[in-house]
Amino acid sequence: MTTGRTTRRRFLKALGMGAAALTVPRGLAGAEKPRRPNIIFVLADDLGYSELGCYGNTFNETPNLDRMATEGMRFTDAYAAAPVCSPYRAALMTGQAPARVGITDYLRPNDPKHLSTDHVTIAEALKGAGYATGIIGKWHLTGYANHGATEVPPASHGFDETIVSENRGIGGGSYFHPYHFNREIAKRLPGKEYLTDRQNTEAVDFIRRHKGGPFFLYLSHYAVHTRLNGKPDLVAKYEAKPGAGKGFRARKNNPHLAAQLETIDEGVGMIAKTLDDLGLARDTILVFTGDNGGESNVTSNAPLRAGKSTLYEGGIREPLLVRRPGTVPAGTVCRTPTSNFDFYPTFCEAAGVRPDPRQHLDGVSILPLLKDPAARLKRDTLCWHYPLARPHFLGGRSTGAIRRGDWKLIEFFDTGKTELYNLADDLGETNNLAAANPEKATELKQALAAWRADCGAVIPDDCKDYDPNARRDRPRSKKKPT
């Protein structure tokens, strides 16, 4: 995955110079330098669009996240760059579309693919500007040495500290200590240690350790990825609620998902309180979001269609909350479409860091939106590329998609067919307008192909023309986790 043009970049990185250059605003030379904001990025795994109270859920309880919405900004049209884990994370780290990075599907434990160190990641960009950098939790941008793969861990991508992170796979429902994804992690909390509690505690510790700032903390939860397994007292609480589903595979009002989400929510409350107590709230951008849609076999993303592994809205539209008192106007809602590859340029701009010009960025800074939700971005189109050699086990098919304004087109690589929707009056993507509006369908299909060409993305032959009813990727285990 190394190319000749990257030799100089590697050389500069080795000198600690390749990551970023500092930009001191004009007129401030010699004056007191503005304080660089801390950045805390809290990511939930497989958390769908409709799970939070502030996104309309009436079963789950998310008081701290709902408070984030009232104290900050809530986005209605925030997208993941991919409908599964690894490509989302590749886009987050690089500011690029997964198709350009070359990671478009989730990485398997023995995968020869990993995020190339040729990239200048967002962690490296911020580290180069003096930020302390840390990841707590899920990485999923490499195969694992334990599975015979070349392992490229967060430390190779600009993270000073890697805490409670995997070295044998991605979690897979191992939520109680000892953790199967990393058996070397020593227990720290009293009683039966719960993974999300541990991550929350580590996050508060990290903030306190680096309160002098600036710091970049990536709190990457393993929850609420299946197999779901909440803390028993919380599960019992939700099982007793009216309308509760039964068991960890309930498709509606899942008590395990609710319990796991409550523990994530509690951590967000702990983080916000820590920032308030330390007097850091106004100097800290706190972000909460999810990496792809909810799994349709354990929840519903309604009013959105489908879920994880699909390019329908349920697979890629995510909750997104941003809080920074004094900068992000409280209680605001932003309806402009964004993608998670926008965080890279956004964080750089907020930190006064000029991105390394050799790191091509597909994202644009959404900082103007964070100051004024009605601001306009110089972009009206987002694209996705998700080629598969056979259907994902959750039902996702080999597809590409494009959203331009309110129009959305999905191209099915397996059948060659397209579907066209107008999201303004058909959020649930129920009325395919491709036949009724062939001009728009053709325009978007051509724009999508042009974007693929720009990214160097191809549709491999084995990702075209397969039988969409063929055997899915792999069978699901019905076993309850331990």
As measured in angstroms, the least distance from the Cβ of 83 to Ca ion is: 9
Q: Of the listed pieces 38-46, 235-243, 340-348, 440-448, which binds Ca ion according to CB under 5 A? A: 38-46
**Of residues 131 and 181, the one with the C-beta less far from Ca ion:** 181
Residue in 292, 339, 346, 398 binding Ca ion, rule: CB under 5 A: 292
Residues 85-104 that bind Ca ion (CB under 5 A): 85
Contacts of 18 (CB under 8 A, 6+ apart): 9, 10, 11, 12, 120, 124, 128, 356
Neighbour tally for 478: CB within 10 Å: 7
Nearer to Ca ion, 85 or 259 (CB): 85
Instruction: Restricting to residues 126-185, name those near Ca ion by CB under 5 A.
Output: none
Catalytic residue among 85, 334, 348, 455: 85
Between 138 and 408, CB nearer to Ca ion: 138
Catalytic site residue 360? no
CB of 98 to Ca ion, least distance (A): 13
Please enumerate in sequence order all residues whose Cβ is within 8 A of that of 393, keeping only pairs 6 or more positions apart, or say none: 309, 472, 473, 474, 475, 476
Binding of Ca ion by 46 (CB under 5 A):
yes
- How much is the CA Rg of the chain, to the nearest whole Å? 21
Q: Cα 201 to the chain's mean position, in Å?
A: 21
Is 62 among the residues that bind Ca ion (CB under 5 A)?
A: no
Cβ neighbours, 10 Å, residue 222: 26
The backbone region for 126, taken as left when phi is positive above 0, alpha when psi lies in -120 to 50, beta otherwise, is alpha
Catalytic residue among 114, 119, 140, 256: 140
Q: Which stretch in 161-169, 292-300, 311-319, 331-339 sits in contact with Ca ion by CB under 5 A?
A: 292-300
Helix axes 343-351, 85-94, angle to 10 degrees: 30
User: How many chain residues interact with Ca ion (CB under 5 A)?
Assistant: 5
**Smallest gap from residue 46 Cβ to Ca ion (A):** 4
Distance CA 50, CA 229 (A): 20
Q: Would you count residue 369 as binding Ca ion (CB under 5 A)?
A: no
131 vs 222 by CB, closer to Ca ion: 222
Q: Which of 19, 45, 214, 294 binds Ca ion (CB under 5 A)?
A: 45
Residue 333: Cβ within 10 Å count:
11
Is there a catalytic annotation at residue 85? Answer: yes
Kindly give, in sequence order, each residue whose CB lies less than 8 Å from that of residue 327, ignoring residues fewer than 6 positions away.
282, 285, 370, 371
CB closer to Ca ion, 297 vs 437: 297
Q: Which residues pair with 75 in a beta bridge?
A: 320, 334
Considering the rule CB under 5 A, would residue 223 count as an interface residue with Ca ion?
no
Q: Which helix (H) or strand (E) holds 234?
A: helix 232-239
Applying CB under 5 A, which part among 43-51, 206-214, 374-382, 422-430 lies near Ca ion?
A: 43-51
Contact residues toward Ca ion (CB under 5 A) are: 45-46, 85, 291-292
Name the residues annotated as catalytic.
Answer: 85, 140
